[in-house]
Chains A and B, each alone.
Chain A
Amino acid sequence: MEFFLQQTLNGLTLGSVYALLAIGYSMVYGILKLLNFAHGEVYMFGAFAGYGVLTLLGGPASPVVPVWLLLILMFAGAVVVSSAIGVAMERFAYRPLRQSSRIAPLISAIGVSFFLQASALFLFTAGFRTYDTPKLIDISTGITVGPIRVWLVRVLVIVGTAVVMVVLTLWVSRSRTGKAVRAVSFDREAAEMMGVNVNHVIVVTFLIGSALAGISGVMTALVFGRIFHFMGFIAGLKAFTAAVVGGIGSIPGAMLGGLLIGMAESYTTGYISSTFQNLIVFGLLILVLLIKPTGLLGKPQLVKV
Chain B
Amino acid sequence: MPDSSDTPESRPTVEEAPTGIGVDEWVAQAGELREGHRGLTAPARRAFDSLRPGWRLAIVAVAAATVPYLVKPGGVRIAIGILILAMLALGLNVVVGWAGLLDLGFVAFFGFGAYFYAIVASEQLPAHWPTWIALPIIVFFSGALGVLVSLASRRVAGDYLAILTLFFSLIFVELVRNFQRLPFVSEDLNLTGGPNGIPGVDPWDFFGFKINTFNRHYYVLLVLIVLLIIVLHNLSSSRTGRAWRAIRDDVLAAEHMTIPVNNMMLLAFATGAAIAGFTGTVFAAVTVGVFPTSFTLAFLITVYSAVILGGAGSIPGVLLGALVIGYLPELLRSPRLAGWLFYFGLLVALALLIRPWQRLVAVIGGVVAFGYAVRIVAAAVWSDATTGTAAEGFISELLDGWVLILGENAQIITNIAFVAAIAGALAVTVVKGWWQVAVLIPTIYLGVLVWENRLVFQPSLTRQLVFGALLVIMMAVRPQGLLGKRRVEIT
- CB pair A111–B468 under 8 Å, yes or no, is yes
In Å, the complex CA distance between A97 and B473 comes to 11
| Cβ contacts under 8 Å, B458 to chain A | 122
- Give A94-120 as 1s and 0s: 1 = Cβ < 8 Å from B's Cβ atoms: 011101111111111011111111110
- CB pair B472–A111 under 8 Å, yes or no, is yes
Whether A231 sits at the interface, judged by CB under 8 Å, is no
In Å, the complex CA distance between A190 and B422 comes to 36
A107 and B308 contact, Cβ closer than 8 Å, known pairs A114-B301, A289-B160: yes
- CB pair A279–B171 under 8 Å, yes or no, is yes
| Cβ contacts under 8 Å, A99 to chain B | 19-21
CB-contact partner of B475 in A105, A116, A121, under 8 A: A105
Whether B471 sits at the interface, judged by CB under 8 Å, is yes
Q: How far in angstroms is the closest Cβ of chain A from B435?
A: 17
In Å, the complex CA distance between A279 and B175 comes to 8
| Cβ contacts under 8 Å, B20 to chain A | 99-100
Whether B223 sits at the interface, judged by CB under 8 Å, is no
A175-198 at interface with B (beta carbon < 8 Å) = none
B124-169 at interface with A (beta carbon < 8 Å) = 152-153, 155-156, 158-160, 162-164, 167-168
| Cβ contacts under 8 Å, A105 to chain B | 475
- CB pair A123–B155 under 8 Å, yes or no, is no
Whether B289 sits at the interface, judged by CB under 8 Å, is no
| Cβ contacts under 8 Å, A279 to chain B | 171, 174-175, 178
Which range contains the number of B residues in contact with the other chain?
A: 35 or more
- CB pair A285–B472 under 8 Å, yes or no, is no
| Cβ contacts under 8 Å, A244 to chain B | 160, 163
| Cβ contacts under 8 Å, A93 to chain B | 472, 475-476
| Cβ contacts under 8 Å, B471 to chain A | 107-108, 110-111, 114
A33 and B159 contact, Cβ closer than 8 Å, known pairs A100-B20, A110-B301, A279-B174: yes
A278 and B159 contact, Cβ closer than 8 Å, known pairs A110-B301, A111-B475, A121-B464: no
Q: How far in angstroms is the closest Cβ of chain A from B170?
A: 6
A286 and B167 contact, Cβ closer than 8 Å, known pairs A108-B471, A110-B301: yes
In Å, the complex CA distance between A283 and B426 comes to 40
Which 3 pairs of residues, A with B, have the shortest CB-CB distance? A111-B471, A115-B468, A114-B468
Q: List the interface of chain B (C-beta within 8 A of A).
A: 14-15, 19-21, 96, 100, 102, 152-153, 155-156, 158-160, 162-164, 167-168, 170-171, 174-175, 178, 252, 297-298, 301, 304, 308, 411, 415, 418-419, 422, 426, 429, 454-455, 458, 461, 464-465, 467-472, 474-476, 479, 487, 489
Q: List the interface of chain A (C-beta within 8 A of B).
A: 33, 35, 88, 91-93, 95-97, 99-108, 110-119, 121-123, 125, 233, 237, 240-241, 244, 275, 278-279, 282-283, 285-286, 289-290, 293, 303, 305
Listed A/B pairs (23) with beta-carbon separation below 8 Å: A88-B426, A92-B426, A93-B476, A96-B14, A96-B15, A96-B476, A100-B479, A102-B158, A103-B96, A106-B159, A106-B162, A107-B471, A107-B475, A110-B471, A111-B472, A112-B468, A118-B465, A118-B468, A122-B415, A237-B170, A278-B174, A279-B178, A293-B160
